[in-house]
Amino acid sequence: MSLFRTALSAALAVGLLATPALADRRPRDQDRAFQAFREGRSMPLPKIERRVVPFMGGADYLGPELRGDTYRLKFMRGGRVIWVDVDAATGRIIGRSGD
């Protein structure tokens, strides 16, 4: 019976310690992007990537960030980082930096 109580106490303690971390959880870019897509405020990311990547002249694509209503796509060419800002709703390039 003592082993059972110890195991139960340990499980309860772990649960209580994990609860604040779950309560503070902020939505990830991925979750926010999916929600924006479901609400019709954003194009799917793969479609945006298919529009932008061909214009980057062989730069390595490193991945996206979602910033409000804008995707920021990160590229690398010759040791330099290039950021391309894309309107999430239309897929139109609205800015570029780092060239």
> CATH number of the domain that 53 lies in?
3.10.450
Domain tally for the chain? Answer: 1
Which residue range(s) make up the domain with 17? Answer: 2-97
Q: What is the CA radius of gyration of the chain?
A: 21
- DSSP state at residue 89: T
4-18: per-residue pLDDT in tens? 566 555 555 555 555
pTM over 0.85: no
Residue 99: name the closest of 60, 63, 83 by CA: 83
60 or 33: which carries more pLDDT confidence? 60
